[in-house]
Amino acid sequence: MRYFDKLNAQNLFVMDGGFGEIGRRQFMNRLLRTSRKPLADRSPHDLLAAIRVDRANVFTDEVQQGLHQGALRDIEETFYARPDIDSWTDEDQIDLVAVRTRLPNFFGFEQARMDGLIPNLMPFADASFLSQVFATSLRERRRGRMFRRWIRRANPDLARVALVKGLTTYPFRLGPVAAFAWTTLKGRLGRAHADQRRGDFLQLCQDEIRDLVGSGAVRHAGCYDVHRLSAIVERYYRGEHHLGTTIDWWLAFEFWRQGVTGEYG
């Protein structure tokens, strides 16, 4: 992305492969494997328990309860208030949920931001392509069969190039389950890339982070459990480095909150 200004000056554009996962039947597979019953029973509470991911436990109990209730309302509206897809297969319902939620709430914002840097296209998010995806059989979409066949037919040499998953690589020929096993094993054997940037950043900014936690903007924000947040920061800098993810998420949220409210630490 650091070269976008130069590319734009040459009247070039970007072809973005984002949302291509929709054609590979790759969205929300964990939900399908573990939560078919909550989906069928229309139980928002059970479904939330199945898909919930906790990022940073830094908010007050009242705020967390509000987030919980909001998530239940969103699940009710997103998964269960769709009579037009009740007769669809579970896979198609999940994919349509991804189109209706993930596309505007994740890819859409990034696409809009990039449009300010350089003209760019996201063909896999195009309505005509998505219509053809849902008209294609599940067998062709599962495990990326359709895309793999296209690649082998159009440029067989690409099938010899390793693919990337997370912080490591795996052979093109492997399907999702085999790729997961391959990359997990490589990670356990220490053959995955070790990204030290988060730790380096948090160490470099230690004084600023401590000051931010104690600032009036944070202490009077009203959404944080300040004692819990302070304890997390202190524990991290005493050596509990697994808490770095929590601090990372909190910083991202706090910078966003300050930008929205205009309250700066």
Tell me the per-residue pLDDT of 202-233, one tens digit each, with 9 for 90 and over: 999 999 999 999 999 999 999 999 999 999 99
Looking at the domain assignment, is residue 206 inside a domain? yes
Taking every pair of Cα atoms in the chain, the longest distance, rounded to a whole number of angstroms, is 61
Given a cut of 90, is residue 180 above it in pLDDT? no
Q: How confident is the model at residue 30 (pLDDT cuts 50, 70, 90)?
A: confident
Q: How confident is the model at residue 264 (pLDDT cuts 50, 70, 90)?
A: low
Q: Indicate the pTM of the whole model.
A: 0.74
Backbone angles phi, psi at 240, to 5 degrees: -85, 75
Distance in angstroms (rounded) separating the CA atoms of residues 243 and 240:
6
Position 244 scores a pLDDT of 95
Q: Are residues 131 and 246 in the same domain?
A: no
Given a cut of 60, is residue 161 above it in pLDDT? yes
Looking at the domain assignment, is residue 46 inside a domain? yes
Position 114 scores a pLDDT of 86
Number of domains in the chain: 2
Q: Are residues 19 and 125 in the same domain?
A: yes
Q: Are residues 21 and 138 in the same domain?
A: yes
Domain residues for 227?
A: 197-261
Q: Are residues 138 and 202 in the same domain?
A: no
